Amino acid sequence: MRFIPVICLLFGGWLALPVVAAEAQDWLERLADAGQSQSFQGTFVYERNGSFSTHRIWHRVDETGVVRERLMQLDGVEQEVLRVDGSTECVSGTLADQLDDQQAWSAHDLDSQRLLESYDLRIIGESRVAGRAAVVLALSPRDQHRYGVELHLDQESALPLKSLLLNDKGQLLERFQFTQLDVGTLPTDQELQSGTGCQPVTASKAAAEVVEAWRSDWLPPGFTLSRVAERRSPASNEQVASLVYFDGLARFSVFVEPLRGVMVEDARSQIGPTAAVSRRLATADGDVMVTVVGEIPLGTAERVALSMRAIEGQAIQ
């Protein structure tokens, strides 16, 4: 029968796990630390279904430990971000839309312990990326609710040289890959100077008091709520609640927008690695549209969208 080999594979996988896990985990910890301690600059490509772009990154760590980083798209529209110590200093035009706090692109520490609950971590070999020797880590999901990641880390610096996102059939959803990397060379002040199109980001103050008005009846195992926010709808004056869930590696956001009687149908779409599912939900206060956006399989996003509930007695304001 065809599934007997599968059983062997499963057991084989479990037995082999502890032996290599320790070394693989060391690499993950080195990765988590790499950007905090090393300066580098390089060029990378980003590819997903329907999009291919090239970018340049300048990353400098001062003697005092201050991290300055500038990212710029090299082809097409000039898009740029400048970050200092994890908070965003300025962003260029279209990216700036909707950005109302400095926490965008905020740092979430890679929690290797937590990540291992949902992923099987293994070293699967060595490779060469951007002319540099790399070690290849595989993060295979333990269930069907998340995607796998293949990480190529620089042998010397543990910086991620290449990162592939793969679905359950092993098909490539997204590629991030350096084509050239220079480790140890400090980017100059001039290189870290943002262009004229880069608009300064000012901190917004009153984002603190957010009422937790929504919860999910079902979540994929390992995912927990990492952030709750509320902001104005991009298309109306309604307040949209947004919840971010995180499993140590993958992330999805849930947006809840009141419909106020407007007739809107459900929708679903897939943009490269990102699934987006909108589901209408009836509440005591009228219908709302629940939209789940994230790098998770469409079926999982759908199930999350169906599981959102209003917390009793706390209607949306």
Strand-pair category, 40-48 with 51-61: antiparallel
Please identify, among the stretches 28-36, 183-191, 192-200, 202-210, the one whose residues bind another protein according to the rule CB under 8 A.
28-36
Count the site residues for another protein by CB under 8 A: 93
258 touching another protein, by CB under 8 A: no
Binders in 90-119 for another protein, by CB under 8 A: 94-95, 97-99, 103-110
For the bound state, the minimum distance from the C-beta of residue 161 to another protein, rounded and expressed in Å, comes to: 11
Give the residue from 18, 222, 242, 20 showing the smallest Cα distance to 111: 222
- What contacts 303, CB < 8 A, 6 or more positions away? 218, 220
Which two tokens mark 155?
A: 């042998």
Cβ-based nearer residue to another protein, 106 or 314: 106
Cβ-based nearer residue to another protein, 1 or 15: 1
Strand locations in 130-250 (E): 132-141, 148-154, 160-166, 172-183, 198-200, 214-216, 224-232, 239-246
Please identify, among the stretches 49-57, 119-127, 183-191, 198-206, the one whose residues bind another protein according to the rule CB under 8 A.
49-57
225 touching another protein, by CB under 8 A: no
> What mask, x for binding another protein by CB under 8 A, covers residues 51 to 90?
x-x-x-x---------x-x-x-x--xx-x-x-x--x----
Give the residue from 266, 267, 224, 229 showing the smallest Cα distance to 247: 224
Could you say which of 180, 188, 233, 314 contacts another protein (CB under 8 A)? 233
234 touching another protein, by CB under 8 A: yes
Q: How many CB atoms lie within 10 A of CB 72?
A: 19
* SS3 at position 31: helix
Contact status, residue 305 vs residue 290, Cβ threshold 8 Å: yes
Cβ-based nearer residue to another protein, 169 or 205: 169
Backbone phi and psi for residue 35, each to the nearest 5 degrees, phi listed first:
-75, -15
Cβ-based nearer residue to another protein, 186 or 312: 186
Which two tokens mark 85?
A: 């110590």
Residue 302's beta-bridge partner residues?
none
Could you say which of 138, 276, 290, 310 contacts another protein (CB under 8 A)? 276
What stretches of 66-174 show up as alpha helix (H) in DSSP?
93-96, 112-118
242 touching another protein, by CB under 8 A: yes
222 touching another protein, by CB under 8 A: no
274 touching another protein, by CB under 8 A: yes
Could you say which of 197, 272, 307, 315 contacts another protein (CB under 8 A)? 272
| Residue whose tokens read 């499993």 | 247
For the bound state, the minimum distance from the C-beta of residue 313 to another protein, rounded and expressed in Å, comes to: 27
